[in-house]
Every structure is written in structure tokens, then in C-alpha cells.
A and B are shown apart, each in its own frame.
Chain A
Amino acid sequence: MSQALPDDPVTRPVNLPRFTETGAVDPKLAGTALALRGLTKAFGARTVVDAVSLDVPAGSFFGLVGPNGAGKTTTLSMVTGLLRPDAGRVFLTGVDVWADPVTAKTRMGVLPDGLKLFERLSGKELLGYLGRLRGIAPEVVDQRAGELLTVLDLADAGDKLVADYSTGMRKKVTLAAALLHTPPVLLLDEPLEAVDPVSARVIRTVLTRFTTNGGTVIFSSHVMALVEELCSHVAVMAAGRIIASGELGQVRGSATSLDDAFMHLVGADDAGTGGLEWLGSSQA
């Protein structure tokens, strides 16, 4: 099959051969951790992700921001192979995720939002199982799992069932599972949503260490302060489209904060104003 140019917005249907275990990397995507080309997904008549094209530089801490319903989770689901796109292509470290999933899956660590784990395994068992599932040698898995549980402050809860974990603990053990096979790219959907401050600090520290060592972190969030603090690059998504992307300072422009820039970009400068004159008039 002829390969479309990776930098073109390709919009062909994704009925691609699924099992080519080639691991071939397109040289035009060198230095790019993730490249999206014309990625599209519609549910019924509603187009949730609309021909999105995006480049994420390798080694960057990349924030995908947008209001609820912007299409962030749908985009990340298509990138991670959990949701089939209607059109477009996804290149992860140059490998087409949907044409060569065997190679692509070895190069990504995933932390989705709201999906279950194997609830009746303990944290330690879950990591041990997933490591072995990926074909890593048992002694390496056990050594890495032990270190990850310690660093992520889960050592005392390692023998507890995942079903009994708090939200923060679940995020941390999922992050541990995502790091276990040392992937070059981490794809995280709202990694700090509903997480307590201590766990959030631990996760942020680990992610920062990961990028310092050359890894790429791509995460979605709608907390602008967090993105501004952590990210080197950012893309703003609204109504299924990328409306701005680039280095943080470039996207922020002359605005005083990323939050102000974001409000301006999504056309929500006046959000929350007008009406409600009766507020504060309670006689109780």
C-alpha cells in the first residue's frame, strides 16, 4: 500500500492492514513523538474530533487543554488504540498506531480517565501481571514494580486489592503500569483529576523526572494553572478542533496567564457574567 505523506492531512478511512509487525519508522517524522494527520471521529451526526492535525516534539511536556466536550479524551483514545478513528492517521515515534499496533503498543504508556483496572488483584499483582503480559522477564518486572510502588508512595498498599484504592492511589498505580515497560511516550488523560494534593505532587514529580530523562509526556487537562506550571508545549482544543498549538509562551502570547489566553481562544471572555441579579438577595 502506498504511504501517504505524513505531513499531509490524510483523511482516508482506517481500514488498514492490522498485523504488519514491521516497526518501520517514517524518516520525515524524526524528532516527533506524536503526529496526528486529519484525525476524525463522529458519533452519529456529531463530529467530536474534526480533522485534527498536530505535532508533538520528542522530549516535550505537552498539555492538551480544552473545555469539557472539546474532544480531548476522544483524541487520546484514538491515539492509544482504544477507539477506532473514522479517518486520519496517528504516528507515535514515527510508527503508525493503527497500521502497526504491535510496535506502537511497546512505545506508549497509557493512563486513561475513568476506565477500570483488574479490581480483585492487589497493586503489586497488577503490576506483576501487566509486566509479564508485556513479555518482560519476571525478575525485572518485580524489581521495577517494587521501585515504582516505593517512589509513588504505594509500598504500604502494594498488597491491598485495587478495588479498595482511593482515586489518587488508582491514578498512581496506573501510572506505575504505564511506566513499567519504559516507553518513550506517556499518554495521560486527566492524570490529576480528583487526586489529593500529596498524590498530585508525587505524580508531577515522577512525570517531570520522566521528561528530564528524555521521555515525552502528553496529557490532557482543563486545569490551566497546572498546564502552565508543568508544560513546555500546549495545544488548545475546542469543539473537536485544534485552535492553537506550540510552545507555551507562544500560545499564551500577550495574555497575563494561560487561563486568560485560553478564555480568549475559546471565545469565553464573558463567561459567567450577565443575569443572576437576584443572587445575594436572600432574606434567610
Chain B
Amino acid sequence: MVGLFASLKWTLVTSRLRRSSRAVRAWTIVLLVVVLAVLLFIAFGLSQLRRVPDVAPLVVTGLYVAQLLGWALMPLVAFGVDETVDPQRFALLPLRAQTLQRGLLVTAVVGWLPVANIIVMIGAVISTSSPWALLPVALIAAGIQLITCVVLSRAAATAMSSLMASRRGRDLGVLVGFVLVAGYVALSALLNSGSGQNFLTEGAGRAAKVLGWTPPGALASLPYRLATGQYGAAALGLVIALVALGLVWWWWGRALHVRLTTVSSTSESGGAGASTLSASAGSATGTAAMARLVARRDAVLSWRDPMRRLPWLIVLFMAVFWPLVVFRGAAGGLAVFGVILGSLMAGSQSANQFGVEGSGLWLHLTAYADRARARGEVLGHAAAAILPGAVCVLIALVTVSSIGGDWTQTPAAAGVCLAALLGACAISSWVSASLPFAMPQSRKSLFASSVPGQKGRTSGAQVSILLGGLVSALPAAGLAVVSALVDPAWGWLALAVGLLSGAVMLLVAIPATADRYLATGPEILAVVSAGDRV
């Protein structure tokens, strides 16, 4: 039975590759080779820690703890990516819970992610095997660590599977995804700062000692404790790790039993909250009224749908933090130009405006077909991106200039950033109608942005928007260079030109997009409906 489960997982892992075209298969293999090379490089770097036996256990402790946390959180972020995670799919098979549990353990170990983990862990094993006689101990410890990770992940997934199959659970997963991204950026900023260096040298050592008594830390420290004669500590650490493994195994078994023998009581029902859409909106009797109606609907959906809301948090986060992290050393207040990344991201929030709701587009296609309302719809989507986008950009410009204590380049930066915002929005609108793509409607992962068979379209649209936004900022950017090199007063002209060029691009893009949308509505619907199935 275990072999059958292993073969099922292998089939699932390789099926997408088998079904793809020869070109896609070749690129996938190239990508896998690159990833393998990176992993081998990391493993090699870790193995070099053998030369500093006092530091190796500390680093590996941190690695193992992070690895366990990652596996525990993975079901929240990527539930549904692996079909074998949801035990409900096996509910009708005549299997005993213990047999199913062993089979599912095997399926969890077969896959790209476990293989990547094993490669990195080989480096960790070598780094802690000093002397070499302790290699078998380090290997066994690594094996227990990997099984603990897998079992904990599956236990968490099983316990949460009814939640993750619901809308609220998926919303929670998206939120966790954002926290991980934001946490990573904040940690990078901290470690690159002066106080971060102190943290690395002092605090990390103390933290590693405490973590050394957690199950992953105990396993990472096991060879070192044996090598230094701390047999009691080593035995106690091993007991801690094995007891933890036993507990998570029991938890998984218990969760499986509950999941397979009881009907889910998770209710998806939920109120819409305060209605801000119908109460105050007027009827779409012309372009302006239509724009207000659509912009208001977009605002309501952006607030309620985490897949729309979280990108805005990321926009604000990247607009403010990215210039501070990347350009903090830039002279003459130039760091403020780093806000352009946030501007481009904000402008791109109107991207694929006919595909965000999947086949829900039919509601508009069957409701009207006149130019005035089509222009109003495009304008409304654009306004829903520009208004909050401009607020984000202004907050970022003020914050970065205030922290840097230099406002000389702020007008020029505002011109460049607003041109990029409006330009990216204009290009996003046009690309929405000329190169639409399907967006996964299952809302299972923040990181899933395209559907199989449309990855080329998705990438093409995204690159077009990014490049188009940058190009639209060029006139203002030219004047910004003059402002930086000659006289900051030129920055005010950059601001005026940036606003003007962005506005012109919008004025051209909106009617062109509306006409294209009216002419090719059924074709756009056919493309974006593919997102319903993913």
C-alpha cells in the first residue's frame, strides 16, 4: 500500500511535466537544473561550517527551527497545491487510519520540496559531523528532523483542512503569505542595519542556546553535544525530539480520524458587513456615473477580497520601505526616487481589469454594449487604482524625505513617481483588453497569479506594464536628472511634466481600451474564464 501511495504521488508530481509541450518541458528542466545548482551551492556553503565547530550547531539550529516553522505554515500558504494534503480526497477508500497515515507520510516525502530540503540538509549534516565519526548520528538526527517537519505539516493541514477548504481559511492563508513576505523584508532590513549586526553577533548566539532545547534545535545540537562529552544533554535533547515526533504523529492520527469520520461543521456564511456600494451609488447613465459606480464596486471588493486587499498593503510597504532599505546611503536626497517601485506597483493594480472576477465578466457583457458606459467602466477601474495609489505614493515621498531630512529632490521624485503611476495605470488598462489573462479564482495562494497554459500571456502582460510604466516616466525623469545636477528648481517642472504626460497617456488609453473591450468582449471572456477552474 505504501508503494502504491508513493507511485500515486510520483504520478501527480510528474503529470504536469508530461502533459506540457516540448518547449515548456525543456525550460522546466533548465529551471530545475538552476535550482539544483543553487541548492548545491547552499549545501556546500553550509558544509564549510565544519571548519568552525562552535558556530555550526548554532547556524544549523536556526536552519532547522526555520525549516520546521516553514513546514508548519506551508498548508496555510499553499493548501491545494498538493492534492494529497487534503485527507478528504481519500475518505471513500477502504483503508484503516493507520495505513492511510503511513501512506500519506510517504506521499509527503515524495516531491520537489522534500528533495530540496534533503539537499540542503546534507550540507547541514556535514557541517555538524565534526569529527567524521559522528556522521551517522547527524544523519539520523536530520532524518528525524525531516520526518518531524513532514508529520507536523500534515497534522496541521489535516486539522485545518475543513477550514482551508473554506473561503475564510483561504483568506487566512493569503494573510499569512503577506506576513511572511513583510517579515522577510523587515528582517533583511534589520540584518543589514548597524543594530542588525549587533543582533547577529550577540542576540543570535543567545537565541540559538535557547532554541537548542526545542526539538529541531536538540537534533541540530546532538552531534556537537556528543563531541563535547555532554552525553546527558544529548540524551535529553534526543528524548525531547522523539517525544515531539510522537506527539505530532498522534495529533495527525487523531486529526485524520476526526476529519474522516465527522461531517465538517465549518460554516462559510458571513455577512457582507456595512454596505457601502448600493446605498450611495447612482445609476450608470453616462461615462462619469458609470466610472463612479465601477470605482466604488472595485473599492468594496478590494476591501473584502484579500487577494485584492493585500497587494495594496504590499504597495504601501514597498513604497515606503524599499527606498529606505536599498537607497538609504544615496546622497543628496536621491533615496526618494526609490518610491517609483511603489508607484509602478500601484498603477498595475488596474491590470487585467476584465479578468479579476473570472467569468463574472459575463454580468457586464450582458448588461450593456455602449461606448459611454464602456469608457466609464475603464475609467472607474483606473480611478480605483489611481486614487489610493496616489495616496500611497505621497505618504512614501513624505516619509522617505522626512527620514532622510532632505526635501530638495522631492518635487522631481513626485513628478517621476506620479508619471509612473498614471503611465502604468494607462498601460495596465490597455493591456487588460489587448492581452487579458485568467487569474486563479480559487484564491488558494497569494503566489498563484496565472493558470496553466497562460503563463506566457501573464508574463507578457506584466512585463509590458512594468516597461510601459517606466517609459512613461522618462520625460519627467529627464527633468529630474537636470534637477539633481543643475538646480532643484527644475524638479517643479518635472512634477508638472510628469502629471501632464501621465494624464495624456490615460486620455489616450481609456477610450482605446473601451473600444477594444467592446469589440472583443466574448474573446476576453473566453480567456479569463479559465481562471474559474484553478
| Chain A residues, Cβ within 8 Å of B281 | 128-129, 132, 138
Q: Which of B355-387 contact A (CB under 8 A)?
A: 357-360, 362-371, 373
Q: Which of B283, B364, B370 makes the CB contact (< 8 A) with A141?
A: B283
Q: Does A38 contact B (CB under 8 A)?
A: no
Q: Which of B272, B282, B365 makes the CB contact (< 8 A) with A132?
A: B282
B302 (CB) vs chain A CBs: closest residue:
A120
A117–B167 alpha-carbon span in the complex (Å): 15
Contact B441 A116 (CB under 8 A): yes
Q: Does B293 contact A (CB under 8 A)?
A: yes
Contact B278 A82 (CB under 8 A): no
Q: Does B496 contact A (CB under 8 A)?
A: no
Contact B519 A18 (CB under 8 A): yes
A266–B462 alpha-carbon span in the complex (Å): 49
Q: How far is the CB of B150 from chain A (nearest CB, A)?
A: 33
B283 (CB) vs chain A CBs: closest residue:
A132
A119–B373 alpha-carbon span in the complex (Å): 22
| Chain A residues, Cβ within 8 Å of B278 | 124-125, 128-129, 132, 138, 141-142
Contact B270 A115 (CB under 8 A): no
**Chain B 454-492 interface mask (CB, 8 Å, partner A; 1/0):** 000000000000000000000000000000000000000
B525 (CB) vs chain A CBs: closest residue:
A82
Known: A21-B370, A121-B300, A125-B278. A164 touches B358 (CB 8 A): no
Contact A132 B293 (CB under 8 A): yes
Q: Does A177 contact B (CB under 8 A)?
A: yes
List chain A positions with a Cβ less than 8 A from chain B: 18-19, 21, 80-84, 101-102, 104-105, 108, 110, 112, 114-122, 124-125, 128-138, 141-142, 159-161, 163-164, 177
Q: Which of B300, B367, B523, B529 makes the CB contact (< 8 A) with A133?
A: B367
A124–B300 alpha-carbon span in the complex (Å): 14
| Chain A residues, Cβ within 8 Å of B269 | 160, 164
Contact B304 A120 (CB under 8 A): yes
| Chain A residues, Cβ within 8 Å of B265 | none
A125–B360 alpha-carbon span in the complex (Å): 15
| Chain B residues, Cβ within 8 Å of A131 | 283
Contact A81 B270 (CB under 8 A): no
Q: Which of B188-238 contact A (CB under 8 A)?
A: none
| Chain B residues, Cβ within 8 Å of A116 | 357-360, 441, 532
B304 (CB) vs chain A CBs: closest residue:
A120
Q: How far is the CB of A88 from chain B (nearest CB, A)?
A: 15
The contact sample of 6 A-B pairs, CB cut-off 8 A, is: A21-B370, A110-B366, A121-B272, A128-B277, A133-B290, A177-B363
A187–B366 alpha-carbon span in the complex (Å): 11
| Chain A residues, Cβ within 8 Å of B297 | 118, 121, 129
| Chain A residues, Cβ within 8 Å of B283 | 131-132, 134-138, 141
**Chain B 259-292 interface mask (CB, 8 Å, partner A; 1/0):** 0000000001111100101100111110000100
A82–B357 alpha-carbon span in the complex (Å): 16
B286 (CB) vs chain A CBs: closest residue:
A135
A122–B269 alpha-carbon span in the complex (Å): 11
Q: Does B183 contact A (CB under 8 A)?
A: no
Contact A101 B369 (CB under 8 A): yes
A19 (CB) vs chain B CBs: closest residue:
B371
Q: Does B452 contact A (CB under 8 A)?
A: no
Contact A130 B367 (CB under 8 A): yes
Q: How far is the CB of B270 from chain A (nearest CB, A)?
A: 6
Q: Does B83 contact A (CB under 8 A)?
A: no
Contact B359 A159 (CB under 8 A): no
| Chain B residues, Cβ within 8 Å of A138 | 278, 281-283
Q: Does B329 contact A (CB under 8 A)?
A: no
| Chain B residues, Cβ within 8 Å of A114 | 359, 532
Q: How far is the CB of B18 from chain A (nearest CB, A)?
A: 22
Q: Does B526 contact A (CB under 8 A)?
A: yes
Q: How far is the CB of A174 from chain B (nearest CB, A)?
A: 9
A119–B308 alpha-carbon span in the complex (Å): 13
Q: How far is the CB of A193 from chain B (nearest CB, A)?
A: 16
Contact A81 B277 (CB under 8 A): no
